[in-house]
Structure 1
């Protein structure tokens, strides 16, 4: 299903300045496919469960990204 939904978007993207954001990514297979399609932003449980703003800040500080 992900492939059939994304292929028209990848064609549309070539003429648009909008970014494509993929949500709900849970597997490496999905991630690899989205990377091949040049998806701009990717998020989902593969990377992290949903977190509050405070939890997010702690993650950034912990990983020295802030």
Structure 2
């Protein structure tokens, strides 16, 4: 039972991440072939990470 719960949680996180990507960067894929779609998704995720990184403050260690 525990394994099923972990799988559901991971799937839920993945669906949330894909929702964010599609909402911010477009809801459809432009390429038709599966391998090209994978590349397109990777580029979108890198762009989303870059956008998210711009909004985060930098933290420094205080000694």
Give the TM-score, by structure 1 length: 0.29
Asked which structure has the greater CA Rg, the reply is 2
Higher share in strand: 1
Higher share in helix: 2
Give the TM-score, by structure 2 length: 0.29
